[in-house]
Amino acid sequence: MRKEEGTSPPPSLPQGSFSLLLLEAGEIYFEDYAAIYLLPKEVPAALNTWEAKFESGTIRGRLKVCSKSLVFDPRDSRAPIIKFPYRGIEVIEETISSHANDLMFNGEEVVRVVEARSNLTVEMLERGVLQPYRFCREVRTHQFQLIYAEVSAVLPQVSQLHRASTLPPNDQNTMVQAIVRSRQQRKRFDRALLTDLSEKEVYEGLASKVTPLVTNPGTVLVTDAVLYFQSHNNAEKHPVIRINLGEIRQVIKRRYLLRQVGLEVFCREHCMVKHLLLVFKKCEERDLVYEVLVTQPGVSLDLQAQDNMTFQWQAGAVSNYDYLCYLNSQADRSENDLTQYPVFPWVVADYTSADLDLSDPAVYRDLTKPVGALNEERLSRLKERCKDMPEPRFLYGSHYSTPGFVLYYLVRQHPQYMLCLQNGRFDHPDRMFNSLKETWENVTANPSDFKELIPQFYNPDTTPEFLINASNIDFGVRQNGKPVGDVELPPWAKGDPSRVVRMLRDALESEVVSASLHHWIDLVFGYKQRGEEAEKADNVFYHLCYEGSVDLGAVTDLNDRLALEVQITEFGQVPKQLFSRPHPARCSTPHLPLHCGPVLGGQASPVGDEEAEASIGAGAVPGDVWQCLGSLQVVGECRVHREAVMGLSFTCDTTKIMSVGRDALAKLLSLPSLEQVRSVRVGSMAVSCCQHVPDTKTVLVGSWDNNVYRYSLEYGQVSLLLRAHSDAISCLQWRDGTLVTGSLDCTARVWSLEVSASSESAMAAVSAGQNILGEMDHDSPVLSLALHPSGTLLATGTEEGQVALWELPHGECRHLVHCHEGRVWAVAWSAAASGVAAVSGVSGVGTEDRVLSAGQDGRLVILEADGGKRVCVHHLHQPVRCVVWDGQRLVVCGMTSGDLLVFDMGAGKVIFKLSAHQGAISSLALTSDLRYLATGGEDRRVKLWGVTSE
């Protein structure tokens, strides 16, 4: 399964080279100049410093002008990169130097240089080694000879930035931002960098490229063929990033600093970059670029995989790891943004045992609680503190994911990020990520530590570099005298870092975690994330962690805004809320095939859970029969109708099957030989559908003459039961005293209809006016329907491609969704509809209830009953006439081509296909004991298939 939300963090930059990570937070790098650095005369040559290695007293390199500092990047790696913060520069001016430079001038020539007297310099990456920065606070005079530029052209802009540093902090920030805006507004995309000068330009504007701890401003240009990003400096690897529109596979709107201003573009293989995260000034600009990109003819997005992920995970076709990656991506978490890094749960709670038994529930963390609530004693203290707080109150003073927490785990793999975040220093050795056991104990006991994990703990496909000090970096010595080296592993890891990740991944994918992971999703991404439910779940964080707590765009004071941005970054950000209701649980074992979708001529006979379980208990084929459907064999075949077979229904004792056809005949056939037992004419027109009423000897039959008939299995007689509609009846279903009928008159009706064994012999026609409970109007003929097992919801499919969900008995429309282009031939409820907790006041309707629809356009669509949202869409590329659904992943489809196929909705593939009929398969039926599958076709044939587990 391809991971949708991103890739691993960018690799470390080459040691000893300039990087934007060397600048202060929020600092902008403008431009650089070839220069020669004349070493300060204040440095005694006798001292054993790096300056002493340069006898000439000069170093060639590049002088970089930034918004808060000058940076000299030497060509010789023996020398460090040196930063000269403006706040430490006392004087900066043009002067004349008589310093001889054999490479450029003779010894008698006078040289004009930039001279800066500074009381603070920062030396970084000396000899290319990643180590804490060296801060020199002695007053020294530094001179820079510009090789290809005039001092008079460069010094004014540097002096302006230096003057800003002398102002009070508020005025300094305002002035620097004004300079930055002025410079950026003058920037235009360099048309010489276009791939083809004939490209049609669609959009040009300013944006910043975001990578961990860095935002680099530039210009975005979209043409009819390519997406370009050109930075306003030369710090990027490429002078311009080019992404051909055909290489874009996803475009996702992102949140950045709690504002909807980000846009992340994911690319296919062989592109210049794998992904690009851009941040715009305003939400409107971001939305405009998004619309421009997704509407370009050359862009082909992988949308179906996104739509299907929740269903695929619930059905077991997607791993827990991949699904969490997907949720993080959908919640605006990106590995390019350390303030919103993907968050993963602690799942293992045992870091002391010699062996880890993943089948033992005791080794796992309780995923129904946030980390802060795992320790009851600590939680009690936190609640007492919370009571004494002014509003807005919070339970936890720190978040479960912040840049500092992410780098706590990644410092060995990406030490340059930690140096950037902590102003050139590593953390205290005893506070670093030294041991998995110590870290787990800390997050479950420390009153201010509630951090969760990151994806690297669960990805065995990559080397666990974050656990190993492979570069032998000097992180310091702990109080126990041990230097900080590799992470101390739990005993069950047997000293192998790769084993740690493999074991944790196995734990994440275990049945124990799979059964409860949805509870953690509720806490982090779902309905327990905020509000009253969050309070009940002890899941309340500082208010600035939540989107909507403050509108940064409305804060006009620049300094107030910068202060809020710093707070938001440091406190962490709660992911965007994805679910407002309980997340469905993952299905541990396949459900039994309980529901057969009613179609025009198809059976509408759901088998109840108790019935199915009783059949299984009697020695029937087990529920995993679906995995064995490839061994279907024809055990009976007959041609009993003069026209197309329209409907099939097995009797509950599985000894006979009723077949109805367009020839207005109803046939009773014995199993498994399909020998005709009885034949009778029903009404005056074609018969469209039928259903055996459980625990009786009655079959209900719908006719094109607008009526519902009763067929007596005991006496072989047909009698008029209901004058139901003003046009042909297309589908019907009875359950527990309720009959629903669908008609070509564009209505579906609900009737109160008791069919009991005692009343069969004397049953007369029912008065429609006395027994109708509700009527549901549609804009086009109703072709299919399915009654929820609780009797409180009805799903209908129409000729114009709409699926409607109605609340019964009064027929109020809950959702109307256009699912198909053309007729909806079948709808069916999922097996989860058998009595989960009530939602939205509808008794017996569970949060996991879903409706499958199949149509003329060849699509299979699964809708969420509660929200009417599509959770899965697949295209079979030929019309689907009828279905039998197991309620989760597997669908048996009867196609208009005559093919019978089993489709795995989770994996998105056909498991097997066979040619069953000459012409469309118009009806399907499955016995309650799962032994037989019957198909009826327009070739006038009925076939009986034996389901074997061999």
What is the pLDDT at residue 814? 93
- What gap in Å lies between CA 12 and CA 677, rounded to an integer? 79
- What gap in Å lies between CA 208 and CA 51, rounded to an integer? 37
What is the pLDDT at residue 590? 43
The full set of domain ranges for the chain reads 20-185, 191-302, 322-571, 595-940
pLDDT value at 60 more than 50: yes
Q: Considering the chain, what percentage of its residues have pLDDT values greater than 70?
A: 87
- What gap in Å lies between CA 428 and CA 86, rounded to an integer? 28
- What gap in Å lies between CA 285 and CA 560, rounded to an integer? 23
- Residue 204 confidence class, pLDDT cut points 50, 70, 90: very high
Indicate the average pLDDT of the chain.
Answer: 86
Q: Considering the chain, what percentage of its residues have pLDDT values greater than 90?
A: 66
What is this structure's pTM?
Answer: 0.80
- Residue 756 confidence class, pLDDT cut points 50, 70, 90: low
Of 868, 872, 895, residue with least CA distance to 882: 895
Asked whether 695 and 653 are in contact (CB, 8 A), the reply is: no
Asked whether 668 and 676 are in contact (CB, 8 A), the reply is: yes
pLDDT value at 607 more than 50: no
Instruction: Give me the residue label for tokens 């040691």.
Output: 15
CATH of the domain spanning 191-302, picked from 2.30.29.30, 1.25.40.10, 3.90.1150.10, 3.20.20.20 = 2.30.29.30
What is the pLDDT at residue 351? 97
CATH T-level topology, domain 20-185: PH-domain like (2.30.29)
β-strand partners of 826: 854
Q: What angle do CA 4, 6, 12 make, to 5 degrees?
A: 160
Q: Order across the sheet with 932-937: list the strands.
A: 633-639, 941-946, 932-937, 921-926
**Range 524-552 average pLDDT:** 91
What is the pLDDT at residue 270? 87
Q: Does domain 322-571 have CATH number 1.10.1540.10?
A: yes
595-940: what CATH class?
A: mainly beta
Per residue in 113-151, pLDDT (tens digit) is: 999 999 999 999 988 888 999 999 999 999 999 999 999
Per residue in 549-577, pLDDT (tens digit) is: 777 777 777 778 778 888 887 889 999 99
The one-letter code for the residue type at 51 is E
20-185 and 322-571 share one fold: no
Which tokens go with 881? 């006439």
List the beta strands (DSSP E) in 41-87.
58-66, 69-74, 81-85
Which tokens go with 113? 């240089």
